[in-house]
């Protein structure tokens, strides 16, 4: 079993749709969780950290389920500019190496 797994997609959705991505992790001791966005041939950009209580930033909502060992990202009212690859990342200990999934590709069309 891979340490961090994501559905690679692609997810093809129309503008305005709501889309959700899940990411599972194998190490139950993982402490920190993140979602990154990566555009083609660019570096990953931090989208949001994921906290135990869940957190929201505008149209984006992140949730953590420690019991089932997964994190999720919900994007509401999708925009064309949301088209990208979304990477989840976890760390076994805060400040150490990020372990990434392969990423989920989102394509938003008009």
Partner 1 sequence: DTGVSQDPRHKITKRGQNVTFRCDPISEHNRLYWYRQTLGQGPEFLTYFQNEAQLEKSRLLSDRFSAERPKGSFSTLEIQRTEQGDSAMYLCASSPKKTSGGFEQFFGPGTRLTVL
Which stretches of the chain bind partner 1, using CB under 8 A? 4, 32-34, 41-46, 49, 87, 89, 91, 94-103
70's CB contacts (< 8 A; 6+ apart) are 22, 23, 24, 25
User: Token pair for residue 88?
Assistant: 């989840």
Closer of 1 and 41 to partner 1 (Cβ): 41
Q: What is the closest distance, in whole angstroms, from the C-beta atom of residue 71 to partner 1 in the complex?
A: 12
Closer of 32 and 107 to partner 1 (Cβ): 32
| DSSP-assigned beta bridge partners for residue 34 | 49, 89
Q: What is the closest distance, in whole angstroms, from the C-beta atom of residue 110 to partner 1 in the complex?
A: 26
CB 88 within 8 A of CB 44: no
């Amino acid at each position: 079993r891979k340490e961090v797994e994501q559905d690679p997609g692609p997810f093809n959705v129309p503008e305005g749709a709501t889309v959700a991505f899940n990411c599972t992790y194998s190490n139950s001791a993982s402490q920190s969780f993140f979602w990154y966005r990566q555009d083609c041939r660019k570096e990953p950009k931090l989208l949001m950290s994921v906290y135990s209580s869940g957190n929201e930033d505008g149209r984006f909502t992140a949730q953590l389920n420690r019991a089932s060992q997964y994190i999720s990202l919900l994007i509401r009212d999708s925009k064309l500019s949301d088209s990208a690859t979304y990477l989840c990342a976890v760390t076994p200990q805060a400040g150490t190496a990020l372990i990434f999934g392969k990423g989920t590709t989102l394509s938003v069309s008009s």
